[in-house]
Amino acid sequence: ASSSRTRAKHGTVVARLTRIMAHSLATAGATYAGAALTGRRAPAGRVAVRGSSLKVRAADATAEFDPRTFRRELSKSGKYNRKFLKDEESAKKMEDDGIGYSKSGLVAKMRENSNVHVDGDVTFKLAEAYGFCWGVERAVQMAYEAKKQFPDANLWITNEIIHNPTVNDRLGEMGVQFIEETADGKDFSGCKEGEVVILPAFGASVHEMKLLNDKGVNIVDTTCPWVSKVWNAVDAHTRKEFTSIIHGKWAHEETIATASFAKTYLVVKDMKEAQYVCDYVLEGGDREEFLAKFKNAYSEGFDPDTDLSALGIANQTTMLKGETEAIGKLLEKTMMQKHGVDKLNDHYMVMDTICDATQERQDAMYALVDDKPDMMLVVGGFNSSNTSHLQEISEDASIPSFWVDTYARLDADTNTITHRLAHGELVETKDWLPAGKVTIGVTSGASTPDKVVEDVIDVIMATKKKMSGAPAR
């Protein structure tokens, strides 16, 4: 049942991501903004997502909720754990389940052979950096460790542990239950005192943490330390009364969590949106047009005429490194033009929040593109932001690129592949593998186990053998 629930979640990703979590806790002096849009409070035990907005509005101006103070107090409680035990038995089970690093499979052999594998007419070239990053491996293993540590307890997880269907299916098969998301919001009513709730690698909002703490559950926090670093950055912005400019996708779970730690924020998706903001800072503009353009992507009460005078930059860790840096430089230049070089520190703040793993995989993809393979294979969950950017790099280089999430997207009998483009379109391509010799560059997103890549490569090799009339292995 858990596995089928997980698969159902993947079937409704687009619908789910068009809604955005808008919430706070009544106990923290706030009401759920999504429920406020409908004129009622969210049901007890639910976090509202109704209404497409990140906004949280204060219900009681006298009741202040400090996310940093709450996190500190939570970390001292006996029902909160974010320690990575590095348990060897759990790591071995991950490997046996096919959701860890390859130690003896084809990907492992490629690493031993200069990241190259030749099979008949096909040459596979593996990127120097690819697949599971440390933060993802840590999160998944912590979930396995939680199952071992609490063998008889009901285990829940607030969202997908990572953006990969294979991994989430495995957790479902282990009995981990996924918090149901309904039209009224995430339904936490099934979580009872003493049960275990896992927070995913990309984190959870501070308001979800508060709700879970109030329910008396045991929290296992697998949030990647790089994501936590971004939270610290927006907290620093808040304490200086700066507006956080978050480079990210407003509907992405990580950005939702990050925004919950900020007081005043604006989410920008790309350089084009950042330029619009900077033009408004320097030249002013139509306030209503601004608010309409960034609908869903700013804090409650945000006013571009008053909230863009002091800015700090943060980012969703899976965004393109180069674009985050370019947006930061643009904001810095804009604030110098507006306020003068001598006043820059009073109006602009930057902290390094770019994830090393994301950077390494993107740099490796650029290097692979420079080798000019005949085509590119990108393997990763279709709702994985970091994987979409790897696909984007290849598309921008005009290399035929095929992004798949599992081997099931390939049909060896018909030489057909169903694949996703960088900006979301799912397409089917017939006769995608050419006859004769072909070099295929291979990479995978930071949430992709090596076994998933190996399974896809196996189908490609089987397809080529069918094309040549040779028996598949």
Residues annotated catalytic, as ranges: 254
- Spatial CA neighbour of 291 closest among 279, 277, 278: 277
Structure tokens at 166: 């294979």
Q: How far is CA 219 from CA 79, 94, 259, 350, in A?
A: 6, 21, 21, 31
Q: How far is CA 309 from CA 187, 235, 282, in A?
A: 39, 18, 10
Q: Please, what's the b/e burial string for 55-75 (b: 16 or more CB within 10 A of its CB; e: otherwise)?
A: bbebbeeeeebebeebbeebe
- Give Cβ neighbours of residue 431 (< 8 Å, ≥ 6 apart): 415, 416
Q: Do 60 and 29 form a contact (C-beta atoms < 8 A)?
A: yes
Structure tokens at 251: 């509907």
**Parallel/antiparallel/unpaired status of strands 416-420 and 80-81:** unpaired
Euclidean distance between CA atoms 384 and 324, whole angstroms: 18
Q: Coil, strand, or helix at residue 405?
A: coil
**Which CB contacts under 8 angstroms, 24+ apart, belong to 267-276?**
267/54, 267/294, 267/297, 267/298, 268/294, 268/297, 268/327, 270/323, 271/323, 271/326, 271/327, 271/330, 274/245, 274/247, 274/327, 274/330, 274/331, 275/330
Q: Hey, what amino acid is at 265?
A: Y
Q: How far is CA 125 from CA 372, 401, 466, in A?
A: 11, 14, 22
- Spatial CA neighbour of 238 closest among 311, 306, 294: 311
Structure tokens at 420: 């996703």
- Tokens 């903004």 correspond to 33
* Count of CB atoms situated within 10 Å of the CB of 272: 8
